Structure 1
C-alpha cells in the first residue's frame, strides 16, 4: 500500500531544518523548512503539521501563519522553555535538581547575590544567548558588578563545581511512548560545544536517572518530538543545566552512530509514524566546525562523515560538523589524530581530551 504523504512545516530554515528535511525524505514525509524572515502567505492545509527548529522567531506573515495553525506541535512549550525563568520554575515544580537560581530584580546587587550564592555567580539572559553569549560572571574577588540594564532581564545561578557535562536526547510521541539515546559526554570550549562522545560505558549507571528526569519533563508538557537536556555530573548525581525543545547539537552523533537519527525521530514523532528503539552502532565522536573554512582533507579521513551547512564563515559560528562512528576504537583514535592535523590550535585541547577519554 502506498503511504499517504504527510506534510510537516518547520518554523526555521537553518541547518537543523535542512537536516530534518534530509531525514524526512526517505520516510515519504514532505517536510518544508520556512525562513523566519519570510513575509509571504504559505499554502497550509488543515491537516498539515507545524514544528520548529528554534525556540524564538520574529513576527512575519509566514511565522504568524505557522504559529496560529491548530496543528502547531508543542505550541505552548517554546515560549515556556525559551525564558529561563519559566524553564527553571518548571524544573523546580517537578522537583528536578538544578543550580540554585533567582531572577535578578532591582533590589539585587552583586554583593547580595554573592551573599546568597557564593563567590562566583553566573548571570544568564532570560531569553536568547547561546554558545556562551548573553552571560556574565560575577566574581567577588574581582569586584564585578551587575551590568547596567540587566535587572529583570537575567537570572543568577550559583556556580556549580561539576565533574563534567553530559546530555541526553529523547523522543516522545502523542501516545506518550518515549525512547532515549545513551548519554553523551560533552566538551565545551569558550562556552561552545566542541566535541561529543557517545556511548560511554562508564556513564551507563547514570542513564536511568537521566531518562527519568527528561521523561518527567516531556510528560508534564505533553511533548511531541525530540527534546534534549543538558546536565552537570557531580559524582553520581545529575543536575539539569538547560532544556532544548528541539533537535540538539549534542545529538548530531546519532546521524552516524544510531539506526535512527534524532532528526528522523523528530519527523516520525511529529508526523505520527511508528517509533521503535534506535539501535546504537559503534563508538561515536562528533566534532563541531566553528568559524573555519571548508577543508577537502576532511573527506580523506577514514570514517569521517562531513556535514557542511553552507553558511558564511564567521568567527565562533558553527558552520558544520564531522561525525566518526567506528567499531574499531584504535582506528577511531587514529582518524582523530589525523583530523587534528587539519584543525587550528584552538581545537587541540578538545581533540586531546576526546582521545584521552577513548584511550582510558
Structure 2
C-alpha cells in the first residue's frame, strides 16, 4: 500500500502536489477545508498544507490534530507577519525595518520611525496585493481597525524582486534552486524568469539566509523566500512555508519540481540536487479565459486550474522552456499576442528585457 499524504487545502497547489505524487507512488489527497465530512486518517498517514493559515472547520481540526502533520508549529508562526518578522530579526537576517501597529500608534509616529513612505500590512492574509494600506502623505492615517492587526514597514527603494525556493530534509540537508527574478503588478506575481547568470553572485547570500531559517525552524519540505535586491544585498520581504508561485517554473525547467521535492522531503525520500533544464519563463494567467491556441505555442506548457475566471484571480500559468533563448523570446512574443494587451504588455516586455539583460 502506498504512503498516503493529506493536503490541507484543495486549491491549485494541492492539485499540483497530487500530480507530483503519482510517479513517487504516493497517494496524495488534497482536502477542501469546508467539506462536511472529515477524512478518516490512519496513524501512518502524513499531513501537509498548501496554505499558511486556515479557519477552524471540521476538516482543519481533524487534520491539524494528526500526529504526523509535518511542520504544524511553523505555519501559524510564519502566517503572522509580526511573528515572522520577529523570527527574521532574532536570526540577524536583513529585512525591511518595521514596527508593530498597536497601542493607538499614529501615522506620524510611524513616519518618524520608518521614514516618509510607510506600508501597513495586515498581520494575516492579504496576499496578491490585498490587506495593504499606504501612509504616503501627512494626511494619511492609521485606520482604527488596523490597530493590533497589522505591522508597518519602511518602503524599500529596491532594484528588483528576487525569490529563492529551497528544500530541507529531516536530516537537515538543504537543496536550493537558482534565484528567480519576479515581476509583481498591483501586488500580484505576473512573471518569473530563471536562471539568470547575473543573479549567480547573490546565490550564496540567499542560500545562507534561507538555510538559517530552515534550520532554526527544524523545517522539513519546501519553503520560499521573497526578497528585495538593493545593490548587492538582499532583504527578506516575506516567507512562505509551502510550495510557491515563483517556483512553478521548476515543473518544466528542473529534473525535480518543487512539488516533488516537498513530497520527497516530508515522506523521507532522497532529495538530490536538481538538474536545471534550459532557460525558463513563467507567466501567470490572471483573470483571463482559457485560449486553446496556447497549446500550439512552441516550448510552452499550459497549466489550467479549472477555477471560475474573475478579475485579478490566478486561473493558471504557462511555463516557457528552451535551451535556445531566442526561441524562448519568440514564444513570449507569440504568447503576448494571445493575451489581453491591457493586462500583459508590461509583463511580456519585462520578461523579454530580463532575458536580454
TM-score, length of structure 1 as denominator length: 0.98
Q: Given the alignment of the two structures, is residue 48 of structure 1 paired with residue 45 of structure 2, yes or no?
A: yes
Any gaps of 5 or more consecutive residues in structure 2? Answer: none
Where does residue 300 of structure 1 map in the other structure? 296
Query: Given that residues 38 and 63 in structure 1 are in contact (C-alpha distance below 8 angstroms), is that contact kept between their aligned partners in structure 2?
Result: no
- Superposition deviation, residue 63 in structure 1: 1.4
CA distance in 2, matches of 1:125, 1:220: 25
Query: What does 1:1-360 align with in structure 2 at a 5 Å threshold?
Result: 5-140=2-137, 143-344=139-340, 345-360=342-357
SS of 2:22's equivalent? helix
Q: Distance in 2 between matches of 1:179 and 1:161?
A: 30
2:226/2:238 contact within 8 Å kept: yes
Does the residue aligned with 1:175 lie in a helix, a strand or coil?
A: coil
2:85 alignment partner, SS class: helix
Does the CA-based 8 Å contact 2:297-2:331 persist in structure 1?
yes
Classify the secondary structure of the residue corresponding to 2:53: coil
* Structure 1 residue matching 2:63: 3-state secondary structure: helix
SS at match of 1:76: helix
User: Runs of at least 4 residues of structure 1 off by over 3 A?
Assistant: none
Task: Indicate if the aligned counterparts of 1:122 and 1:159 stay in contact, CA closer than 8 A.
Answer: yes
Deviations 1:1-31 (A, max 9, x none): xxx6211110011000000000000110111
**CA-to-aligned-CA distance 1:32-80 (integer Å, 9 cap, x gap):** 1111112313221101110000011122222111100000000100000
| SS of 1:26 mapped into structure 2 | coil
Deviation at 1:107, TM superposition (A): 3.2
Query: Within 1, Cα distance between the matches of 2:96 and 2:199?
Result: 21
How far did residue 190 of structure 1 move?
0.8
Contact 2:117 2:134 in 1 (8 A): yes
Verify the 8 A CA contact 1:104 1:151 in the aligned structure 2: yes
CA distance, structure 2, for counterparts of residue 62 and residue 106 of structure 1 = 36
Q: Report which stretch shifted further, 204-213 or 146-155.
A: 146-155
Deviations 1:296-340 (A, max 9, x none): 111111111000000000010000000011000001100000011
Deviates more, 1:225-234 or 1:348-357: 348-357
The C-alpha deviation readout for 1:99-129, integer Å capped at 9, x for no partner, is: 0101111331111111111110000000000
What secondary structure does 1:140 align onto?
A: coil
26-35 or 38-47: bigger deviation? 38-47
How far, CA to CA, are the matches of 1:41 and 1:125 in structure 2? 30
Kept in 1: contact 2:102–2:147 (CA 8 A): yes
What secondary structure does 2:229 align onto? strand
Paired residues in the alignment total: 356
Question: Mind listing any 5+ residue stretches in structure 1 that lack a counterpart?
Answer: none
Give the Cα separation in 1 of the matches to 2:296 and 2:44: 45
How far apart are 1:148 and its partner, in Å?
A: 2.6
Q: Is the 8 A contact 1:37 1:58 kept in 2?
A: no
